Amino acid sequence: MFETRSLVILLTIATTCAVQARENGPISNADLPTVLSATRLRQAPADVPGSMTVIDRELIRASGARDIPELLRLVPGMMVGYHSGNEANVNYHGTNVSEARRMQVLVDGRSIYRSGLATIDWSSLSLAMEDIERIEVFRGPNTAAYGANALLGVVNIISRDPSGSQGTRLKVTSGTRGVLDSYGSHGFAAGNTHMRLSVLGRRHNGFDHDEDGKAIRDGQRTDALSLAGTSQLDPNQTLNWQLGVADSSDQAGYDYEAMAPGNPGYPGAAGSAFERQISTHGPSSDTEDRTWVASARWTNDFSATHSLQLSGSLQHMEQLQQWRACDSPVVFSPDLKAIYEVDPQLARHLNKYFRGKLDTVDDLRRLFPGDKAVLFPLAERVIAQHDAALDAGPSCWDINQTMRETRYEVELQDTLQLTDKLRTVFGSNLRYDRVRSETFFGGVEDNRTLQLFANLEYKPHAQWLLHAAGMAEDSELTGFSFSPRLAVHYFVRPSHSLRAVYSEAVRSPDMYENNASWTYRPANLSGPPTLSNTYYAHARGPGDLEQEKMRSGELGYNGRFHGIGLSVDIRAFHEEVHDMMSEPLQLKNFVPTNEGFVRFTGVEGQFDWQATRRDRLRLTYAYIDLVARHKLDRRLTPRNSGSAAWLRQWPAGIHSSLIYYGADMLNERRFERVDSRLSKRLELTRNSSLDVALTWQYRLDDEGLTWSDNRFDSRSHYYLSAQLSF
């Protein structure tokens, strides 16, 4: 179904644009664009040792996307899923559907990858969509340029220069599913400094209901403020700086899985105080996230062949989550803790028994085989302790899953054009991370990381270009690693190159995987007497996990056909990741290992055609053949995925876009959607304008979005926006 429908839509859009091209004629030759994020050198796309996707301002506006994860659907091979309505998962090529651990994300070169939990919190960005100049995505391993965690790719979000966004803009967006966004910015100058102050607010209700029709509570609120500035210190020196703060709230239902959930079918439970109280106890466990950011970058262009850059940043992130949980007093039983310490799976078998998934005690006994049988008398005592508490009711206590992360980072980078044929960039990065959490770490964890990097670009002949790059990295928690990359380009023509790339990359286990000390430390414990104040489950990181290691080979082509305004990039790849950490990291089942393995083999293509002065056609496609050792790594990689977009400028200031997205498997579910946008600009005065836009999204499939419980009442979703500029 995906292949047939996709082909029809692609051909329809292509045919329409071809007709427009014949009517209006091709545009004139344009200068080649450049990218900044691949090797830290400014390069033409044909010179890059890998594949780049650039989402420019025109695409950002035409997509109608309200957030960055939705925008990244335009990147071939990028998998966008949702754990809930407020928790996006963005992975290049796939791996675990619940985690996004293997891609580096930067904002103007500053990493927002959270080392504590190895995640990207997309909602905590203080940068508004309206303030983004472009997004550069390096598709493939890039540890050689950006260090561990750039295992599968790098996303660099580049903000608009404040000097180019002077004046005032006010925007409001409203639509179905509770969408209510607001944005305001004011650009101004003070002496040799241009500044932009921006304020944003985003609201939506999340998914409507689960697979059974039950309402879901997973809405989101984000408010942020940012101040960005550019100071021209002298003709050669520039200072760019940013300040930002964001506050977001993610709704969540009751986030505690009880050992004994009050099953009325359990003998003696029906009508008991325990059954009545625990079945009605379900407070929300909303999360509030707060982020503060300050960064600065000083650049000194000594000459046309030498530039020095010094940057530094401070980030502080707080994840505040507290609620009250209730469970059987046996969760504080030393007998249950003794069982868990020997084998957490045995404690889960007891959970099945209390849930009524095992009919008799003999059924439970059979799950304690061999040398584990000696623990069964402890299980019988736990059952007796629970039975004795049925008339007394559950034990309740306060859970505090608050986590605070702080990062200090400083980097020095030197760029030199040594000869007409040879140039290089090299430098060093020093980063300090601190994570605080009583629940997840039992206190404080620290890590210091030193990076030394270099990239060499040599052009011995007009038709040949050679690259060599490497990153040496030493981490206090994970030790030393070195990631090299070698590439060779052959230029058929100046803007058409064939490339071969070999690279190695690593991902360091995060603090949570390697150093967790996760247990519930009860506060304000109430209910019947307990045998101790120590919760039975205690997840401990092994402390000796090795880095994940990747080897990647790539053959590719990049070309720009100036006469017809067409840019093409094709990538064939073979990637293998060894020593992967693929296990689910749950309190009651926390056993991370380096036993995972995944292999991606396939081909990707992206085609961007400025067919006429008014029409732009863009196509992406990815075919991926996947081999994965762990079942959880097999669920987010569709064999076929892609997008097709037609952007049109009509007379009278009217713009339209039609974009199709498709994937034949996202967590074993088909995804197909068509987005359309229609906008109109009204020139009010010489210096003011009003932009009005309607965005409509329509799902072509009837699947849950990533998970079966992620469902909307309607396949249609629309929102209307109006922006006043003066």
The rounded distance, in Å, linking the Cα atoms of 507 and 598 is 14
- The yes-or-no verdict on residue 558 having pLDDT over 80 is yes
Helices then strands, counting H and E runs in the chain, come out as: 11, 34
* Cα–Cα distance for residue pair 47/497, rounded to 1 Å: 8
Query: What is the average per-residue pLDDT within 341-357?
Result: 93
Pairing of strands 110-111, 103-107: antiparallel
pLDDT value at position 115? 79
Q: Say if residue 6's pLDDT is above 60.
A: no
Distance CA 11, CA 23 (A): 18
Among 201-210, 304-313, 478-487, 580-589, the minimum mean pLDDT is found in 580-589
Task: Please enumerate in sequence order all residues whose Cβ is within 8 A of that of 40, keeping only pairs 6 or more positions apart, or say none.
Answer: 145, 413, 415, 425, 427, 453, 455
Continuous segment of H or E residues that includes residue 22? helix 2-24
Residue 37 burial (C-beta neighbours within 10 Å; 0-12, 13-18, 19+): buried
Highest mean pLDDT: which of 76-85, 118-127, 229-238?
229-238
Amino acid letter, residue 479: G
Rounded to 5 degrees, φ, ψ at 346 are -65, -40
Distance separating alpha carbons of residues 241 and 297, to the nearest angstrom:
6
| Helix or strand (DSSP H, E) at 347 | helix 344-355
Query: What was the pLDDT predicted at 665?
Result: 84
pLDDT given for residue 327 in this prediction: 96
Average pLDDT over every residue of 44-49: 95
Give me the phi and psi of 9, to 5 degrees please: -65, -45
CA distance 371 to 461: 70
Whether residue 22 is predicted with pLDDT greater than 70 in this model: the reply is no
pLDDT at site 252: 94
Whether the Cβ atoms of residue 386 and residue 286 lie closer than 8 Å to each other: no
CA 232 to chain centre: 34
- The rounded radius of gyration (Å) of the Cα atoms in the chain is 27
pLDDT of res. 241: 97
Q: Residue with structure tokens 């071969």?
A: 500
Distance between alpha carbon 509 and the CA centroid of its chain, in Å? 17
**Residue 407: C-alpha distances to residues 102, 128, 260, 291, 410 (Å):** 19, 22, 40, 11, 10
Q: pLDDT averaged over the chain?
A: 92
* Spatial CB neighbours of 4, under 8 Å, sequence gap ≥ 6: none
pLDDT (mean) for 57-69: 96
Q: Indicate the burial class of 460 (C-beta count within 10 angstroms; 0-12, 13-18, 19 or more).
A: exposed
Which is more confidently placed, 125 or 5? 125
The pLDDT value recorded for residue 631 is: 87
Is the pLDDT score of 174 beyond 90?
yes
- Residue 546 DSSP one-character state: P
Name the phi and psi angles at 70, rounded to 5.
-65, -35
* Of 81-85, 129-133, 186-190, 274-278, minimum mean pLDDT range: 81-85
pLDDT at 21: 38
Residue 440 is classified by DSSP as H
Mean pLDDT of 699-711: 92
Range 473-478 average pLDDT = 92
Quick one: pLDDT at residue 7? Answer: 39
Please report the pLDDT score of residue 32 as a whole number. 56
pLDDT of amino acid 29 = 32
Query: Which class is 2-324+401-725 in CATH?
Result: mainly beta
Q: Write the pLDDT tens digit of every residue in 116-169.
A: 877 888 888 899 999 999 999 999 999 999 998 899 999 999 999 999 889 999
Residue 72 predicted with pLDDT over 80? yes
Between the CA of residue 326 and those of 249, 338, 413, 523, 536, what are the distances in Å? Answer: 24, 21, 54, 12, 14
Percentage above 90 pLDDT, the chain: 83
| Domain positions in the chain | 2-324+401-725, 326-400
Q: Please, what is the Cα angle at 469 between 464 and 470, to 5 degrees? A: 165
pLDDT band at 668 (very low <50, low <70, confident <90, very high): confident
Q: CA triplet 640, 113, 95: central angle to 5 degrees?
A: 30
Note the pLDDT tens digit of each residue in 400-425: 999 999 999 999 999 999 999 999 99
Mean pLDDT for 622-635 is 92
- pLDDT over threshold 90, residue 607: yes
DSSP state of 512: H
